[in-house]
Amino acid sequence: MKRSTLNLAKGILLCTFLSITLSSCNKDRLANKDIEGQWEVQSLTIDGVEQMDVILTSFELEFKSDSDIGGESEWDLIGTDGSATKVETDYEISDDGTEIDFDGDKFDMDLDRDNLELSGNLGGTRWEIEADRD
């Protein structure tokens, strides 16, 4: 009788662990699907200082999924002096769809339909990005 109770307890623990793991993976997959496409940055602050319309006239992000939880991103920036910069980087989503890693630079992510907020450290500075689906 004790042996069957122990096996039942192990089975319940295994099922609980698997359901939590699968639920977490599903949230990452959903976030990866939802982030796909083009985004127009409305606000970019670096260490609390707004950059849009001061340093940049345009900043667009594009996400292209190539796996369940990741893909490639392209950052297109146009400076107020007319200079253009394009940055391409891989990304991976984790932590139940609330974190995105750009080649080792981790950002907190809040994705709500057509609104995207990213915040994290990049090159020793604090970046906060607010974007709308383009």
Element (H, E) at 128: strand 125-133
User: Does 131 have pLDDT greater than 60?
Assistant: yes
Q: What is the pLDDT of residues 42-93, one digit of tens each?
A: 999 999 999 999 999 999 999 999 999 999 999 999 999 999 999 999 999 9
113: alpha, beta or left? (left if phi > 0; alpha if psi -120 to 50):
left
**Angstrom distance (rounded) from CA 56 to CA 96:** 32
User: Does 33 have pLDDT greater than 80?
Assistant: yes
Residue 25: the pLDDT is 58
**Angstrom distance (rounded) from CA 91 to CA 66:** 10
Domain coordinates in residue numbering, the chain: 2-133
Architecture category of domain 2-133 in CATH: Beta Barrel (2.40)
Residue 134: the pLDDT is 85
**pTM of the entire structure?**
0.79
pLDDT over 70 for what percent of the chain? 81
Residue 35: the pLDDT is 96
